[in-house]
Chains A and B, each alone.
Chain A
Amino acid sequence: MNEVQQIEVNEYHDHIKSLFEEGYEMMMDLTAVDWFRKKEPRFEVVVNLLSLSKNIRKTIKVQVPDENLTIPSITDIYPGANFYEREVFDMFGIVFENHPDLTRILMPDDWIGHPLRKDYGSGRIPVQFKNAPSVD
C-alpha cells in the first residue's frame, strides 16, 4: 500500500509532476534525514504522496549531496509544500530552488546553525545538583 521509489535530483521535479497527473492529489509529508557518515550522499529528502481516488500512498526518496545542497521546490505542483520546505531548510539547510519565501520558520530569524543535523548538539545543559561535585 506504500511503495517506495528512489529518484535522482535532476528527475525529481518532473517525476513528481507526472505522479500528480497520474492521480496523487495530496502531498502528505516532506521531510529530510541526515545520514551523517553512514551513507553518502549525506541528506535524503523524503516525500509522501497520497491518492484519494486509488487509496494508496507512495514515498519518494531523493539523495542530496553535501557539496551541492539544492533541490527543486514542488510548491508549483503542491502549494501545501510551502511550510514543509521552509522547515527542512530551517532544520537541515537544504536550499529549495524557486521557493517563494525560503526563510526560517521555527527558529528565530538570526539563529546560526541548522538544529536537526547530526553534528549539531542537542544543547543539553548539565543539571547541577546540590552537594555534588561541579560539572563543567
Chain B
Amino acid sequence: MYSPDNIFTTTIDKAVRWSRTQSMWPVTFGLACCAIEMMAAGSAKYDLARYGMEVFRASPRQADLMIVAGRVSQKMAPVLRQVYDQMAEPKWVIAMGACSSTGGMFNNYALVQGVDHIVPVDIYVPGCPPGPQSLMHGILTLHDKIMAGEINR
C-alpha cells in the first residue's frame, strides 16, 4: 500500500497512478434521487464508459470507487460502513449530492449529516441532484488528484 518515495520508483509510481485512474470501477451504491442522475451519467448522452467506468460492479470486492449517491439514513449507516470495509485497497469515495456531503436540506433526526462521519471522503460533488456534467467533473477531478499524487493509497 505505502511504498517509500525514492528516485528509483518515480516513473513506476507515475505509471501505477495512471493505470489506477484509467479504469476505476464504481460499486453500485445509489440510494435515492442522485442514483438516477448517476445512471443517466452512465447512459448514452453523458457517457461514463469513455473513462473506463461503465461497469458498475455489484460486489464491493471487485470495485475501487464508491459513489455515495443519495441520503444516508440512520438505518443504512452500518451497511454503508460494511460495504466500504469490504472494498479492497486502493479505494476512493465520492460523496455525490448535498445529502451525502452534509445532510442536505434534511437537517433532522433521520439522516446522517454528511457521509464523512462514516467513511473518509475524497471528493464532494454539490448539487441537488448534481447533473451528470457535475458528477463527471467530480470524477475527473479525482483522476487529476490521483495523477498528481495528492491522494496516497
Contact = CB atoms under 8 A, between A and B. Distances in A.
A108 B75 contact: yes
Interface string B52-90: 000000000000000000000011000000000000000
A121 B113 CA distance: 16
A7 B109 CA distance: 34
A107 B75 contact: yes
Contacts, number: 22
B74 A107 contact: yes
Nearest to B109: A123
A87 to B, nearest CB: 13
B107 A124 contact: yes
Interface string B99-130: 00001000111100100000000000000000
B113 A125 contact: yes
Contacts of B75: 107-108
A107 B110 CA distance: 8
Summarize A's interface: helix, strand, loop or mixed: loop
A112 to B, nearest CB: 11
Contacts of A108: 74-75
B110 A115 contact: yes
A134 to B, nearest CB: 17
Given A108-B74, A123-B110, A124-B107, 16 more contacts: A107-B75, A107-B110, A108-B75, A111-B74, A115-B109, A115-B110, A120-B109, A121-B109, A122-B107, A122-B108, A122-B109, A123-B108, A123-B109, A124-B108, A125-B107, A125-B113
Interface of B: 74-75, 103, 107-110, 113
20 contacts: A107-B74, A107-B110, A108-B74, A108-B75, A111-B74, A115-B109, A115-B110, A121-B109, A122-B107, A122-B108, A122-B109, A123-B108, A123-B109, A123-B110, A124-B107, A124-B108, A125-B103, A125-B107, A125-B113, A127-B107
